[in-house]
Amino acid sequence: MAIISRGFKGRRQEDAPRDRVPPGQYVTNDFPVLSAGPTPLISLDKWSLSLTSETGQTTSWTWDEFSALPTEAITVDIHCVTKWTKLDTSWEGVSVDTLLDGVQTSSGFLLVESYDGYTTNLPLADATNGKAWVTHIYDGEPLRPEHGGPARLLVPRLYLWKSAKWVRGLRLSSADQRGFWEGYGYHNYGDPWKEQRYAGD
């Protein structure tokens, strides 16, 4: 039996706005850096983003081509499975809808790959209709490498591990395929409002 540490409350806050802060989360003003490996440094002239359809057709964008795509400004709350929530983060990026423009697909899933070998998966429906972006600007500045720059996926409705840093490729797939953390026991979907942290939650 653990003994109680008199007066210890941890980082949780009683006064967090419950309509904005999912269960089990606390609000942070910092932007903690989470990583499972070394931060890859990708020079913009080597960078590209690809989109692969279920038939294997690939579209790709160089940095200049990507930067020429129409962007959207997004202000959202983000929720990390390690229990911090950051309110009103502001980003600029290209909507996944824009990247998918003109692509015919009946795929149900989006598999995401990063420059460091990281992978994650989500239903395509959670990435389309204004729900996900490939972002390259945070708080008015180019996204810093430790936060996923040159560009990362942003899917604010799911726990942040789905918002893959250093994104390199998006693959449409009719079959779901677990990514890095999903494969090690994290929840396959990861809805912060249902506290879907681990498989089985």
Partner 1 sequence: MERTAVRGRLNWLVAEVVDLIDETGTVKSIVLDCPDWPLHLPGQHVDIRLTAEDGYQAQRSYSIANPPAGEKVVVTVELVDDGEVSPYLIGELAVGDQIELRGPIGGYFVWTPEHGGPVQLVAGGSGLVPLMAMIRALAESDRRVPVRLLTSARSRETLIYGDELRRLQSSLDNLEVAYTLTRAQPADWQGYSRRVDQQMLAETSWPATERPLGFVCGPTGFVETVAANLVALGHDAARIKTERFGPSGG
Partner 2 sequence: MTDMHLDGNALGALFIDLFGQEMTDQNGCCDACGAVNPFGRAVVYRDAPGDVMRCPDCGAVLIVAVRTETRLRVSIQSLRWIEVLE
Ligand X SMILES: Cc1cc2nc3c(=O)[nH]c(=O)nc-3n(C[C@H](O)[C@H](O)[C@H](O)COP(=O)(O)OP(=O)(O)OC[C@H]3O[C@@H](n4cnc5c(N)ncnc54)[C@H](O)[C@@H]3O)c2cc1C
Residues of this chain that interact with ligand X (CB under 6 A) are 30, 32
CA distances (Å), origin 28, targets 83, 89, 129, 153: 10, 11, 29, 21
**Angle at the Cα of 83 from the Cα atoms of 77 and 84, rounded to 5 degrees:** 45
Task: Check residue 14 for interaction with partner 1 (CB under 8 A).
Answer: no
Contacts of 29 (CB under 8 A, 6+ apart): 86
Rounded CA-CA distance 173/169 in Å is 13
Rounded CA-CA distance 152/87 in Å is 18
Give the binding range for partner 1 (CB under 8 A) out of 1-9, 42-50, 132-140, 166-174.
1-9
Residue 7 binds which entry of partner 2, partner 1, ligand X, none, with Cβ cut-offs from 5 to 8 Å by kind? partner 1
Give the binding range for partner 1 (CB under 8 A) out of 3-11, 50-58, 89-97, 190-198.
3-11
Task: Check residue 11 for interaction with partner 1 (CB under 8 A).
Answer: yes
Task: Check residue 81 for interaction with partner 2 (CB under 8 A).
Answer: yes
Task: Check residue 10 for interaction with partner 1 (CB under 8 A).
Answer: yes
Residues 26-65 that bind partner 1 (CB under 8 A): 30
Give whichever of 60 and 82 is closer to partner 2, judged by the CB atom: 82
Strand partners, 94: 134
Task: Check residue 18 for interaction with partner 1 (CB under 8 A).
Answer: no
Q: Please tell me what DSSP assigns to residue 20.
A: T
Question: Which alpha helices (DSSP H) does 73-151 contain, by range?
Answer: 96-100
Rounded CA-CA distance 38/165 in Å is 12
Rounded CA-CA distance 1/101 in Å is 57
Residue 12 binds which entry of partner 1, ligand X, partner 2, none, with Cβ cut-offs from 5 to 8 Å by kind? partner 1
Residue 35 binds which entry of ligand X, partner 1, partner 2, none, with Cβ cut-offs from 5 to 8 Å by kind? partner 2
In the complex, what is the shortest distance from the CB of residue 6 to partner 2, in angstroms, rounded to a whole number? 24
Q: CB of 93 within 8 A of CB of 71?
A: yes
Task: Check residue 198 for interaction with partner 2 (CB under 8 A).
Answer: yes
Q: How many residues bind partner 2 (CB under 8 A)?
A: 20
Residues 85-144 that bind partner 2 (CB under 8 A): 144
Using CB under 8 A, list all residues that contact partner 1.
2-12, 30
